[in-house]
Amino acid sequence: MQMTKIYEGAYQWIMFARDPNKPEKIIDTNQYVVRTGKRCLLLDPGGVELFAPMLAAVLHHAPVEEITDLFASHQDPDIISSLGLWDQALPHAKLHAPELWEGFLRHFGCETIEYVGIPDNGGVIQLDSVELKLIPAHYLHSSANFNVYDPEAKILMSGDIGAALEESGTPMFVDDFDAHVEKMRFFHQRWMPSNQAKRVWIERVRELDIDIMAPQHGRIFKGDDVKKFLDWFEALQVGIAV
Amino acid sequence: MNNSQTKSQFVAVASIAAELSAVMDVAKEISLAAANAKAIAFRAGEKAKGFQPITDFINELAKETIELVNDINEHALLLYQLTVNEYRTASAYNKLQEVNTLAVEARYSETLHPSLQHASEQNLECRKHFNQHVSLLLDQLGEVMHPARAARVIAANSRIEASQAGEYLQSLQAVAESVDHAAQIIHEKVQKCRSALNVINLSEAA
Ligand SMILES: [Fe+2]
Ligand SMILES: [Fe+2]
């Protein structure tokens, strides 16, 4: 598992990705970790296959008892099918996930972890003195879906929005936006169902001050590429399969 | 617990549930046969006098069987939940061991040990629970055999009583036959449950 620090201040954001031992047929995912003084939050911690490499990687940064929070942007298996295993490994942690998905996500096993449901209009995760905002991104692609925004680090963890399907072992950052577009087009057109939801989300996100947009698949957008992404997405017709 | 053991445990528990629901159906058939017999005996009047208490008896046995199977079903459901728990704790334990190997060089690798310990204890606990419930279930299955056995004796008596019932002979004999047949089926199904449970015990010993 490769680890890349994407923010370093009074606390850190670390990206975990490009696991070389990932079975070939499962989609590559990016996991993110926010590490403060005494706590540690895992964002979209991943599927069952990723649990062991992921926890082993996190142990470079935090002891088990300080992994206090998990966040699941939505219900997909590549996001959180590892829940049953975290449930055994972290008996005192909280899972922040859409309220709407609670009855479904519990199928993965959530006996000891506390399920903290995120209401439709969003909320916050307080991690020591860091306040992370949960931004609604419903229907992009999941019917109850959230992004995580950190106003201090100016990072938007955008889940499946901005995802690209690429060969394994690609770079962590977008270097040529125009070339990157082709790796995103089908994913967004086919998985995202609603042009209206897309418009509302873009409006909401344009209000935020963002340096880094970090999706759950593919590469991270920096600086001007964030704006370019929003413009490209705005012009894109989604929900094409009907 | 390895993978094939877990699988055979899931299959065994599922097949017990299937056999039990078949026992339930048969018990309901017996109770229907008893109601039938009662009506016939009533019509037969004096001629089937000896038959009347027998029908009440058959009905009692059917009720008893249904109650027992209801209890057993609850147990089987619990056994299924315990199997799920055991599967979860076992796979967590295996995964945590994998983490332990992968994290040798990690700064905080030692902090994993309480979780490993916990997972291993949980798994043992599940196994213990499971075994307790398997032996309880075996006892209960033994109990179901009693009414089934009694039903066969009664069926034999019914045949004798039926022989004095004149024109009702045939219908009363049919009742006796169906009770006997049902009791046999229950006996078979219960045996199947027991051998399924024994498979679990065997796989555990392996
Ligand atoms: Fe998804
Ligand atoms: Fe995804």
Distance, CA B98 to ligand 2 centroid (Å)?
25
Q: Are A45 and A86 in contact (CB under 8 A)?
A: yes
List of chain B residues whose C-beta atoms are within 8 Å of the C-beta of residue A108: none
Max alpha carbon distance in chain A (Å)?
Answer: 49
The residues, any chain, with a CB within 8 Å of residue B20's CB and separated by 6 or more, are: B69, B72, B73, B76, B189, B193
Weakest mean pLDDT among A40-44, A212-216, B43-47, B193-197:
B43-47
List of chain A residues whose C-beta atoms are within 8 Å of the C-beta of residue B94: none
- Tell me which of A12 and B7 has the higher pLDDT: A12
Of A59, A84, A90, Cβ closest to residue B103:
A59
- Would strands A114-118 and A123-127 be described as parallel, antiparallel, or unpaired? unpaired
Question: pLDDT band at B206, cuts 50/70/90?
Answer: very low
List of chain B residues whose C-beta atoms are within 8 Å of the C-beta of residue A84: 88, 91-92
Q: What percent of chain B has pLDDT over 70?
A: 95
How are strands ordered across the β-sheet holding A40-43? A2-8, A12-17, A31-35, A40-43, A67-71, A94-98, A114-118
Rounded distance between C-alpha atoms, residue B201 and residue A46, angstroms: 36
If you average pLDDT over residues B77-88, what whole number do you get?
87
Rounded distance between C-alpha atoms, residue B189 and residue B187, angstroms: 6
- Tell me which of B28 and B204 has the higher pLDDT: B28
Question: With a CB-CB cutoff of 8 Å, which residues 48-67 of chain A face chain B?
Answer: 51-53, 55-57, 59-65
What are the pLDDT tens digits along chain A (242 aa)? 899 999 999 999 999 998 888 888 888 899 999 999 999 999 999 999 999 999 999 999 999 999 999 999 999 999 999 999 999 999 899 999 999 999 999 999 999 999 999 999 999 999 999 999 999 999 999 999 999 999 999 999 999 999 998 887 789 999 999 999 999 999 999 999 999 999 999 999 999 999 999 999 999 999 999 999 999 999 999 999 98
Q: Are B26 and B9 in contact (CB under 8 A)?
A: no
Q: Are B163 and B169 in contact (CB under 8 A)?
A: yes
Strand (E) or helix (H) holding A196: helix A195-206
Residue B203 reports pLDDT greater than 60: no
Question: pLDDT band at B205, cuts 50/70/90?
Answer: very low
To which residue do tokens 């992370």 refer? A132
Neighbours of ion ligand 1 (CB under 5 A): A 76, 160
**B110: nearest CA partner in chain A:** A63
Residue B179 reports pLDDT greater than 50: yes
List of chain B residues whose C-beta atoms are within 8 Å of the C-beta of residue A56: 99, 102-103, 106
Q: What ipTM is given for this predicted complex?
A: 0.86
**B89: nearest CA partner in chain A:** A88
Return the SS3 of A134.
strand
Ordered by start, the domain boundaries in chain A are 2-235
- Is the CATH number 3.40.50.620 carried by domain A2-235? no
Ligand nearest to the CA of A44: 2
To which residue do tokens 């997909």 refer? A76
